[in-house]
Amino acid sequence: MSQTVPLTKESFEALQEDLRRLIKEERPKVIQDIAEARSHGDLSENAEYDAAKNRQGFIEGRILELQDKLARAYVVDLSNLKPDKVVFGATVTVYDTGSEEEITYKIVGEDEADIKLGKISCTSPVGKALIGHKLDDTVRVTVPSGTKEYEIIEIRYE
């Protein structure tokens, strides 16, 4: 995979912190746990040893995943843009004409998406539909439950 990964600044920093924690804290701890489990003797029936080795495999896999993602990361800087168009990283408030509700979404990368926090992926149907539109535009989106119509009522870059 050589594709760039768009990330918000906050997500990039969170991934860096997660990587730092895994390398500086979790890796040494699991190595210590393996050494301690080895000291208990027979490894063939040592559940502590097996659990520590499994944990080590998970940690090493996560470290590689984070290093790859950070190496391919493209941090989107919105500080020099005017909030007149929906772009990656924008926070958008829309009016759902069907339910007559206002909803606020932040357009983020796939790994950052969390609908409970109002963060939707730029590759989701709603995210794709909103990108490129301006204030007061009406956007029609086909979602699994049917077609939604949103009016963009606010765009912010935070």
Q: What is 90-157's CATH number, 1.25.40.10, 3.40.190.10, 3.10.50.30, 3.90.209.20?
A: 3.10.50.30
Residue bearing the bigger pLDDT, 3 or 152: 152
Q: What is the pLDDT of residue 157?
A: 86
Kindly indicate the confidence band of residue 2, based on its pLDDT and cuts at 50, 70 and 90.
Answer: low
All residues at 6 or more sequence positions from 117 whose CB lies less than 8 Å from its CB, including other chains = 106
CATH 3.10.50.30 in the chain: give the residue spans.
Answer: 90-157
Tens-place pLDDT, residues 83-122: 789 999 999 999 999 899 999 999 998 888 999 999 999 9
Buried b (16+ CB within 10 A) or exposed e, 103-120: bebbbbbeebbeeeeebb
In the predicted structure, residue 28 carries a pLDDT above the cut 80? yes
- Dump pLDDT digits (tens) for 33-89: 989 888 877 767 778 888 899 999 999 999 999 999 999 998 888 777 777 899 999
Please choose, from the candidates 23, 18, 1, the residue with its C-alpha nearest in 3D space to the C-alpha of residue 71: 1
Task: Tell me which CATH code domain 5-75 carries.
Answer: 1.10.287.180
Residue range 143-148: average pLDDT? 88
Angle between helices 27-38 and 47-71 (to 10 degrees): 160
Q: What gap in Å lies between CA 141 and CA 122, rounded to an integer?
A: 13
Residue 154 C-beta-side C-alpha neighbours within 13 Å:
10
Start-end of CATH 1.10.287.180 domains in the chain: 5-75
